[in-house]
Amino acid sequence: MSSGKETGWRPNAKPPSYSENRLRQICMLIFGGLCLLSLSGCASFVIGAGATAGVAAMQERGIGGAVNDTAITAEIWQKFLAQDEKLFLDVEIEVVEGEVLLAGRVPSVADQLEAVRLTWQVGGVRSVINEIDVGSGKSLMDSAGDLIITTRIKAALMFDGDIYAINYSIETVDGTVHLMGIAQNERERERVISHARETSYVKRVVSHIRLKDDANRQGT
């Protein structure tokens, strides 16, 4: 029966493209960062902004670090999009305290080098970890498999009481898991890596996790 109103997605409607979804992500990143910088300026979204600020405050990098990393991520994405839409779509970005992880697969070495070059142009970038593969593009099946792996690892970290899951970022490319974040100690770091290795269909785990007391975190 029809309620007289159209709700949800219609079968004949065109679903949003991956490019459109990525653009929305950029807008959300920029908006979220602005809200964190000035919560009073986001009155109509005070609950969402407050929750975002609360999450950032709980992270080891704090609100200031989260805002800076969000701004860096958004600017890198904007540079990729302005240069080449394929670069924008093919490369994933994670930023933790100014350390940038680039992961994905691009058609040529020139594209790989261009992604690194553009990233270094962004203010606040302290280091760039180049994990971009060169080769043919990923299939939808590959992308779906990588998403499942990432989701399973995130769930495992969340349900492990000995891990501060909020401090970690995960990117999976062709079954290779890239871990970034800040561990409270060596034991926690090893537990995170172990969860990733034990997840089904994971081919390899690459850890870029720093310890909480690592002097290099603040560039000292």
pLDDT tens digits, residue range 10-24?
444 444 554 555 555
Asked if residue 12 belongs to a domain, the reply is no
Asked if residue 7 belongs to a domain, the reply is no
One-letter amino acid at 81 equals: L
Of 79, 83, 27, 55, which Cα lies nearest the Cα of 166? 55
One-letter amino acid at 41 equals: G
> Are 150 and 200 members of one domain?
yes
Whether 218 has a pLDDT exceeding 80, the answer reads: no
Asked if residue 5 belongs to a domain, the reply is no
Q: pTM of this prediction?
A: 0.69
CA–CA distance, 197 with 204 (Å, rounded to integer): 7
| Termini Cα distance of the chain | 66
Confirm if 106 and 74 have CB atoms less than 8 A apart.
no
> Are 124 and 195 members of one domain?
no
Q: How large is the average pLDDT for residues 180-206? A: 96
Instruction: Give the chain's radius of gyration (CA, Å).
Output: 19
Domain count, the chain: 2
The whole-number pLDDT of residue 112 equals 96
Asked if residue 8 belongs to a domain, the reply is no
Which of 54-63, 139-148, 168-177, 189-198 shows the lowest mean pLDDT across its residues? Answer: 54-63
Residue that terminates a domain, selected from 114, 134, 154: 134
The domain of 171 spans 140-218
Residue that terminates a domain, selected from 106, 134, 162: 134
> Are 97 and 28 members of one domain?
yes
> Are 179 and 98 members of one domain?
no
> Are 112 and 145 members of one domain?
no
Whether 45 has a pLDDT exceeding 90, the answer reads: no
The whole-number pLDDT of residue 8 equals 43
The whole-number pLDDT of residue 77 equals 93
> Are 82 and 186 members of one domain?
no
> Are 24 and 85 members of one domain?
yes
Asked if residue 62 belongs to a domain, the reply is yes
Indicate which CATH number applies to the domain containing 107: 3.30.300
Please name the residues in contact with 179: beta carbons below 8 A apart, sequence gap of 6 or more: 168, 169, 170, 192, 193, 196, 205, 206, 207, 208, 209
Q: Which two tokens stand for residue 29?
A: 């990143």
Residues 137-177 have pLDDT tens digits of: 666 777 889 999 999 999 999 999 999 999 999 999 999 99
> Are 151 and 85 members of one domain?
no
Confirm if 116 and 130 have CB atoms less than 8 A apart.
yes
Whether 97 has a pLDDT exceeding 70, the answer reads: yes
Indicate which CATH number applies to the domain containing 165: 3.30.1340.30
The angle at the Cα of 91, spanning 123 to 153, to the nearest 5 degrees, equals 105
Asked if residue 46 belongs to a domain, the reply is yes
Q: Which two tokens stand for residue 57?
A: 């405050």
Helix axes 109-120, 62-83, angle to 10 degrees: 140
Which of 31-35, 90-94, 128-132 shows the lowest mean pLDDT across its residues? Answer: 31-35
The whole-number pLDDT of residue 27 equals 54
Residue that terminates a domain, selected from 134, 168, 195: 134
Q: How large is the average pLDDT for residues 32-53? A: 40
Please name the residues in contact with 40: beta carbons below 8 A apart, sequence gap of 6 or more: none
Asked if residue 11 belongs to a domain, the reply is no
